[in-house]
Amino acid sequence: MLGYIDAKPKVGYFPGKALKPERSVRSALMQWKVKDRMSRPVVIRDNATVGDAVISLFVDNVGSLIVTDEQDKLIGMVSPKDLLKFTLGHPNAAAIPIRMVMTKHAQLVTISPEDTVLEAARRMMEHQVNSLPVVRSRAGEGHPKGLEVIGRITKTNITQAMVELASDL
């Protein structure tokens, strides 16, 4: 009944479905929540400059920065590609506010901490992005309505999870 041992008449007993490696991989992927695998968010304020963003990308060694406003609400993201597109041909680009360069909130793909790691991987593949901001709704509690950034999940986080799964087989 537990699935550890199966039996067939005139054949005998053999390991059940619960012991098959592909079952454990699938169940682990379905059980791991984003909140268990996410990393800390790397955040920059919307009044920072393009120069600040470039420095932050290199100092924190990340592939994207999450942009928030004064109330810590998610308003956008900026990637090296965004910065490169904007700075080419603009000699004074380093002094321009990051909000002019970032990908706006309406175009972002986000994920909840309660979603599965598998869902995060699907969204990254579908939208061809390298990371997703992990957000939760922030209505009430004297806070303005919006999304609060509590983490980020990246391709590296998901790769680490896959390596752990493969190591356990």
- Which sequence spans correspond to the domains of the chain? 25-168
CATH architecture type of domain 25-168: Roll (3.10)
> What pLDDT score was predicted for residue 89?
82
> What pLDDT score was predicted for residue 165?
79
Residues 6 or more apart from 65 whose CB is under 8 A from it?
Answer: 42, 43, 44, 53, 56, 57, 77, 78, 79, 98
Q: Which amino acid appears at position 127 of this protein?
A: H
Task: Please give the residue that has the higher pLDDT: either 87 or 54.
Answer: 54
Task: Please give the residue that has the higher pLDDT: either 14 or 47.
Answer: 47
pLDDT per residue as tens digits for the range 2-36: 566 777 787 777 666 655 555 566 677 778 899 99
Task: Give the pair of three-digit tokens for residue 124.
Answer: 């990254």
> What pLDDT score was predicted for residue 24?
61
Confidence of residue 163 (pLDDT cuts 50, 70, 90): confident
The dihedrals phi and psi of 95, each to the nearest 5 degrees, come to -95, -5
